[in-house]
Structure 1
Amino acid sequence: MFDLGRLGSWADLPFFGDDLPALTAKIDADILPPPALTFAALERCQPDQTRVVIIGQDPYHTPGKADGLAFSIPDDFGGRLDSLGNIFKEIDSDLDQKRTKTGLQDWADQGVLLLNTALTVPPGKPKAHAKLGWSKLVVDVIKRLDDAPRALILWGGPAQSYSKHISEQHLILKSAHPSPLSCHRGFFGSRPFSKTNQWLIDQGQEPINWADP
């Protein structure tokens, strides 16, 4: 079902040999994003390129909306932005900058790994794959990235449950999920973008351009 040929340096994570076969047997091909995009976040942002990790929940469950990068939406989608729209509002409030481009590939190209805690979802069934076994992949990714300090942004309870796997050398930012159901419980005003950029600058790195490229 899945094409693992584009994983690059992520390909040797234990998950892919030990856990993915059993997980694949539990799901059918009617998943979002389509199987060809399931691992797009890892493919686009290799371990040695990763400077920031944003961990979300599960992909959008509306057909055509999920593109394999957490929170990212194809630029030609044309529907409701939901969580991403609230992310844009926080960018505006936090940085006084505008973001309108819904595809977040430019973030990935700057070293932002956009990873969900579940990488698949059946159409119209949010959280249906939350306990399917994707958690092993998230833990493997966190362990792989422990070789150097990075900024990890954990949005929502599922993402924050992985904080116990993150060592103290990293910047860890936690807040409510940007979903319309929870954004007013601490996401708005959390200023993750300016905090991350200041930390990167303090590390001697270039800040992320969160606004339109």
Structure 2
Amino acid sequence: MNNEQPALFDAPEPTAPPAYSTEDFPFFFGAKSLASRGFIAADWVSTLEPLDGVLQEIARKLAARSQAGEQILPAPEVMLRALSLPVAEIKVLIMGQDPYPTPGQANGLAFAAAKNVRPLPRSLRNIYKELFVDLGVPEAGHPDLGAWHEQGVMLLNQVLSVTASNAGSHQKLGWAPVIEAIIATLNARKVPVVAVLWGAHAQKLGTLMNNMPQLRSAHPSPLSASRGFFGSKHFSQINRRLAEIGQAPIEWKLPAG
């Protein structure tokens, strides 16, 4: 028996683009099915269940694009990976834009990638640079942010899918109601969630987070990081905000690759 099978969220991207059907997208079968099969935490069901029809329509659109020859990223089973973190355990929400469009990179968590991806995505490299300046945490040498996720840092993109080599290609696919419902659930939490909004796209969602402490700066992409992301010291600020509401700080140092 092979005991060294890769974990669900570490599964490598296939070398040849698959042609997906609607049934290949776990969310096609609804929120209760997602939770029972371990794709999302159980306390997200009440948020997503009213959107089962929306998710089914997204699955149909993605399947049609895939059948027409588009390579859809990331793999269907990790598109909702951010929701594998229970609502009750979330301390911090870091908003991204959409998944990395380079095949083999996107793994369902904003700004993150599979541990073996090289070179590091450029936005993430800038995040690591700011983390070092802010807290003296050295660059991990890999792009796997799973350890942050496990501590309660929700790494959520505004769009959960993309066509390979075509950034932003799914912005009008229909993900907006899903993301807005997720944010509404977090905004209703009795213990506030610290929201980190990097860039104008993320900051447009700030009006949905009136009960959440917000940290804002430029996006960490190479095009904008020097306009306010560098020097923002958001990582130390996050931990200060968490302390103010009685939450344990995040250990930002990642395990070595």
Task: Give the one of 161, 166, 173 matched to 2:204.
Answer: 161
Query: Which residue is 2:252 aligned to?
Result: 210
Tell me how far 1:81 sits from its aligned partner. 2.1
**1:7 aligned to 2:7?**
no
Report Cα offsets for 1:171-208 as digits up to 9, x if no partner. Answer: 10111111111111211111110110011111121110
Q: How many aligned residue pairs are there?
A: 211
Task: State the match for 2:19 in structure 1.
Answer: none
* Match in the other structure for 2:11: none
Q: TM-score when scaled to structure 2?
A: 0.78
> 1:55: Cα distance to partner?
0.3
Q: Quick check: 1:35 aligned with 2:63?
A: no
CA–CA separation in structure 2 for the residues paired with 1:125 and 1:188: 27
CA deviation after TM superposition for structure 1 residue 18, in Å: 3.5
**Equivalences for 1:104-119 in 2 at 5 Å?**
104-119=145-160
Task: Look up the SS of the partner of 2:246 in the other structure.
Answer: coil
Q: Say if 2:160 and 2:175, in contact at 8 Å, map to a contact too.
A: yes
Mind listing any 5+ residue stretches in structure 2 that lack a counterpart?
1-23, 27-33
- TM-score of the two chains, using structure 1 as the length reference: 0.94
User: Unaligned regions of 5+ residues in structure 1, if any?
Assistant: none
Q: Aligned with 2:163: secondary structure?
A: coil
Displacement of 1:19 after TM fit?
A: 1.3
Instruction: Say if 2:96 is the partner of 1:61.
Output: no
How far off is 1:23 after superposition?
1.9
Q: Which amino acid aligns with 2:123?
A: S
What residue is the counterpart of 2:229 in the other structure?
187
RMSD over equivalenced CA pairs, Å: 1.4
Q: Is the 8 A contact 1:56 1:177 kept in 2?
A: no
Contact 1:99 1:210 (8 Å CA) reproduced: no
Q: What whole-Å deviation, never above 9, does each CA across 1:47-97 have from its counterpart, x for those lacking one?
A: 001010000100000011111000111111122421100000010011111
Please identify the structure whose Cα radius of gyration is greater: 2
What letter matches 1:207 in structure 2?
P
State the shift of 1:157 in Å: 1.7
- 121-130 vs 180-189, which deviates more? 180-189
**In structure 1, C-alpha distance between the alignment counterparts of 2:249 and 2:230, rounded to whole Å:** 21
For the Cα contact (< 8 Å) 1:98–1:211, is it kept in 2? yes
- Larger mean Cα displacement after TM superposition, 96-105 or 7-16: 7-16
Alignment-derived partner of residue 182 in structure 2: 141
Comparing 130-139 and 61-70, the one that deviates more: 130-139
- Give the CA deviation at 1:138: 1.4
Q: Which residue of 1 aligns with 2:13?
A: none
Distance (whole Å) between structure 1 residues aligned to residue 254 and residue 166 of structure 2: 31
Superposition misfits of 4+ residues, deviation over 4 angstroms: none
